[in-house]
Amino acid sequence: MTRVFRRSIVHFTTVHSRADTRIYLKEAATLDGAFAAPVGMYVQDGLGPAGETSGPAVVDTGPRARNRLTRMTAGAWRMYCAVRRARPLVAHFHDPELIPVGLLLKLSGIKVVYDVHEDVPRQIASKHWVPRWLRPPVAAAAGSFEWAAGRVFDAIVPATPSIAEHFPARKCTLVQNFPLPDELVEVEPTRYVMRPPHVAYVGGIGTARGVMEMIQALSLVRREDLRLRMAGGFQIAADQSQAQDLPGWSKVDFVGWADRPAVAKLLGQVRAGLVLFHPAPNHTSAQPNKLFEYMAAGLPLIASDFALWRQIVDGVGCGLLVDPLDPAAIAGAIQWILDNPAEAEAMGQRGRLAVQERYNWPVEGAKLVGLYERLLGEASLPKAA
């Protein structure tokens, strides 16, 4: 049975999957390759221990909770007990609802790192399950609690500069969620000019992420052979039913969840990548994975015209920015990409070069390794030969 030994580095989450890109494929794998101490990822999915691999161990701490309240109470307690028994050198957690667990572990003498993936107050302001009138006070309370807890933890690892602004600078190591440069690049992708008139969307699917406008736009583009190849999962069942009722759904190839090799293959066969989040508070300051993953794959972007995204996309010259609430504007951008293949391919190549030179995980991973060297010291945790 796979397990993590004492004097280890433990990443833990009750929300994310064991294959999470940021947690497992990037952070845990990077630390596993840099230090002699074993690295493990503690999850709560009921799938049991992972098979033996050369990478970080995966430890299942019990079945997935039936609902959010159970996950935040019984699930959190179960995770605390499991991590506490391991007595790791560092406990590195990834969910704001596990802040109380992090505080208990800190009281137990364990060094604790809080990895902040999202702007929590802004995220709460957009949560459909929180009554609208309750969102401002809940967001304010959550932000205050997060800020106070951040002063106790040994380090904060924010995923974006805007998130880092919520915490003491002396505690923060900014580790942005940039891609592994070659992970989503096929060895022999289809030549751009030979690709069919297909565009792609990969990731979580929902109304707030622009799925309805994307599908409506498909029926406005003057190409009968246009397809939207969509990989991922609908976050709300009702959104899927509504999307499938739209006329443009006949032009959607919905493949559902896809592993990373399958995503690489998909991206190597399309003309552009779509990332059309609505202007919700937690979206306008976000740096979504897919933005940079499309760039890494050499695809031009069709993206929401947010100020932060404009700095990236226009700064590199790697895509088109549109109003994500306007299907006609989205359709116009898709039409331009299809009508101007040489210029579109050049956009994609500029994005690819920007990832290779700047927006890549090796640069960010080095910051994470540096943080752990400071936390533990060379004598405590020597690098592997």
Say if CB 177 and CB 291 are below 8 A apart. no
Low-confidence ranges of the chain (pLDDT < 70): 1-6, 51-53, 125-129, 378-385
How many whole angstroms separate alpha carbon 211 and alpha carbon 325?
Answer: 10
* pLDDT, tens digit (0-9, with 9 covering 90-100), for 125-182: 666 667 777 777 877 888 899 999 999 999 999 999 999 999 999 999 999 999 999 9
Q: Could you tell me how many residues make up the chain?
A: 385
Predicted local confidence at residue 187, as pLDDT: 80
* pLDDT, tens digit (0-9, with 9 covering 90-100), for 187-234: 888 899 999 999 999 999 999 999 999 999 999 999 999 999 999 999
Predicted local confidence at residue 165, as pLDDT: 92
Say if CB 286 and CB 277 are below 8 A apart. yes
Domain limits, CATH 3.40.50.2000, in the chain: 9-178+360-380, 192-357
Q: What is the CATH number that goes with domain 9-178+360-380?
A: 3.40.50.2000
Question: What are the residues whose beta carbons fall under 8 Å from the beta carbon of 3, sequence distance 6 or more?
Answer: 40, 49, 57, 59
Predicted local confidence at residue 52, as pLDDT: 63
Edge to edge, the sheet with strand 252-256 lists 252-256, 227-231, 198-202, 272-275, 301-304, 319-322
Say if CB 18 and CB 24 are below 8 A apart. yes
Predicted local confidence at residue 295, as pLDDT: 97
Of 361, 371, 379, 264, the closest CA to residue 29 belongs to 361
Q: Which CATH class is domain 192-357?
A: alpha beta
How many whole angstroms separate alpha carbon 192 and alpha carbon 186?
Answer: 13
